């Protein structure tokens, strides 16, 4: 057989050319096939479209705040315009929350830690409820149980050692629950492995992609994405448990490191709302249409002033400024940390000229915490609100207005503590960067766990160094 193509083959090849003119492209048609089948993505999309109505109903089952105070109170406020009615309800419950918070702060560190755990559990429940509403669409097993199990194991990992040490001091018991302290990380890892194995056993055939990776959810013909069961729970733990851990670590450094940042966030929220309510006209960010530049700037200015006044009011009170463990050991003889001791600061020019006229030393006495409070208040008022913007974007992704309805006029607890997401971490980083010094009692406790020959080596080394510096 010849290798050269025949005349018919040559003619056919000549006809196989790319159409040049638009008219030729317009009349060019794809070959018709009777066996064309939808792809797996198309079938998956059709199935999700059918679940649209059911998913929307499940998401609407999440309770939303209506600002109701009961029939009697609602009847008294029904004559007010909706805007002013909301203002009254929010103002009333703001006063109630601040009063309750003040009472708990005055009860001490133990009450505050219980409050942090209570808020943590409720915020976790509100976020998990959103995920539960989504996953009910596919009837995934063990979602709620595994979520709460991982919450408990995470709390044990984060808080186990520090809380055991704290309660050992409060109860005045040496080696309190020593086994859990000595093998804390091993116990934590074992508990996590149990949860991990349980998740693997909960996997359902036909739903692996949805349980492992991103799940495509349809809301009104628009594709949104929500994390898988495993990722949803772990992201919630990262946002909630880690923040509460940092907040409790701040409490251990002194109640003021908890009270001041939280009070600054509250002040920023209240004053931003007040400035925005009365003078707000310029929108700030699309994620929160009600937020205005007037409220943002007014809240920031008010928070800085409030932070300075609060620091001046609390700097000389051992109950607030002493580390918790030192205060629990000897409340009447607590050493005030350097950040709260008065120091002389020279008055800069030209203000020092006034002191020279009055024949006074051009210096003022302030504690360093006043300057620390300015840094904290600036963060609370400038970057803190972005925690709220993040929460607003999260709620918009699921077409909900609030995380819950536990606080009339405000929504859920997560709606009120969204701005605390960044604040707790910042305060912890700030303390470790500029404030905290090594705790001698903890260092001695760690040394006492070493072998006798290692303890002697440390003693000889320390003796040698102290001799070189002239202290011995």
| Higher-pLDDT residue of 440, 26 | 440
**Does pLDDT of 171 surpass 60?**
no
- Residues 297 and 14: their CA atoms lie apart, in Å, by 74
**Does pLDDT of 30 surpass 90?**
no
Q: Other C-beta atoms within 10 Å of 55: how many?
A: 21
**Does pLDDT of 283 surpass 80?**
yes
Average pLDDT, the chain: 78
Please tell me whether residue 173 adopts helix, strand or coil conformation: coil
DSSP for residue 403: S
Q: How confident is the model at residue 276 (pLDDT cuts 50, 70, 90)?
A: very high
- Residues 109 and 325: their CA atoms lie apart, in Å, by 10
Q: What is the CA radius of gyration of the chain?
A: 31
What pLDDT does residue 57 have?
A: 63
**What is the tens place of the pLDDT at every residue in 33-70?**
444 444 444 444 454 454 555 656 666 667 777 777 77
**What is the tens place of the pLDDT at every residue in 392-430?**
888 887 778 888 888 887 788 888 888 887 899 999 999
**Does pLDDT of 268 surpass 90?**
yes
**What is the tens place of the pLDDT at every residue in 293-341?**
999 999 999 999 999 999 999 998 999 998 887 777 666 678 788 899 9
Give the mean model confidence (pLDDT) for residues 177-203.
84
What pLDDT does residue 14 have?
A: 46
**What is the tens place of the pLDDT at every residue in 371-384?**
999 999 999 999 98
> Do 271 and 299 contact (CB within 8 A), yes or no?
yes
Q: Which residues contact 104 (CB under 8 A, 6 or more apart)?
A: 111, 112, 115
Please tell me whether residue 174 adopts helix, strand or coil conformation: coil
**Does pLDDT of 26 surpass 50?**
no
- Residues 426 and 247: their CA atoms lie apart, in Å, by 10
- Residues 407 and 415: their CA atoms lie apart, in Å, by 9
């Amino acid at each position: 057989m010849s290798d050269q193509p025949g005349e018919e083959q040559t003619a056919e090849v000549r006809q196989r050319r790319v159409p040049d003119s638009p008219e030729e492209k317009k009349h060019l048609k794809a070959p018709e096939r009777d066996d064309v089948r939808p792809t797996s993505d198309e079938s998956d999309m059709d199935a999700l479209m059918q679940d649209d109505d059911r998913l929307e109903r499940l998401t609407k089952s999440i309770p939303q705040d209506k600002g109701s105070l009961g029939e009697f109170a609602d009847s008294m406020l029904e004559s007010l315009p909706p805007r002013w009615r909301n203002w009254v309800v929010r103002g009333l419950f703001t006063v109630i929350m601040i009063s309750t918070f003040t009472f708990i702060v005055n009860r001490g560190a133990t009450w505050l830690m219980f409050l942090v755990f209570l808020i943590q559990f409720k915020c976790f429940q509100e976020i998990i409820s959103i995920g539960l509403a989504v996953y009910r669409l596919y009837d995934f097993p063990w979602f709620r149980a595994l979520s709460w199990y991982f919450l408990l194991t995470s709390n044990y990992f984060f808080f186990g050692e520090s809380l055991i040490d704290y309660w050992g001091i409060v109860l005045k018991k040496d080696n309190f629950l020593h086994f859990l302290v000595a093998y804390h990380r091993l116990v934590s890892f074992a508990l996590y492995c149990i949860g991990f194995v349980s998740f693997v056993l909960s996997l359902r055939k036909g739903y692996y992609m949805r349980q492992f990776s991103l799940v495509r959810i349809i809301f009104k013909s628009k594709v949104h994405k929500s994390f898988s069961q495993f990722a949803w729970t772990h992201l919630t733990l990262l946002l909630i448990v880690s923040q509460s851990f940092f907040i409790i670590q701040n409490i251990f450094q002194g109640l003021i490191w908890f009270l001041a940042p939280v009070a600054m966030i509250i002040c920023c929220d209240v004053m931003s709302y007040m400035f925005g309510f009365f003078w707000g006209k310029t929108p700030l960010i699309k994620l929160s249409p009600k937020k205005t530049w007037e409220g943002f700037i007014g809240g920031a200015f008010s928070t800085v002033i409030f932070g300075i006044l609060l620091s001046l009011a609390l700097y000389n009170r051992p109950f607030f400024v002493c580390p918790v463990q030192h205060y629990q050991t000897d409340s009447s003889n607590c050493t005030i940390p350097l950040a709260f001791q008065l120091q002389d600061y020279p008055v800069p020019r030209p203000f020092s000229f006034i002191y020279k006229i009055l024949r006074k030393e051009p210096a003022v006495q302030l504690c360093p915490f006043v300057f620390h409070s300015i840094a904290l208040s600036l963060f609370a008022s400038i970057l803190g609100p972005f925690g709220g913007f993040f929460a607003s974007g999260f709620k918009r992704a699921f077409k909900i207005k609030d995380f819950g309805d536990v606080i009339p006029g405000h929504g859920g607890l997560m709606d009120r503590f969204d701005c605390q997401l960044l604040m707790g971490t910042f305060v912890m980083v700030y303390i470790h960067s500029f404030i905290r010094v090594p705790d001698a009692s903890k260092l001695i406790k760690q040394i006492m766990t070493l072998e006798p020959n290692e303890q002697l080596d440390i003693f000889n080394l320390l003796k040698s160094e102290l001799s070189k510096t002239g202290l011995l």
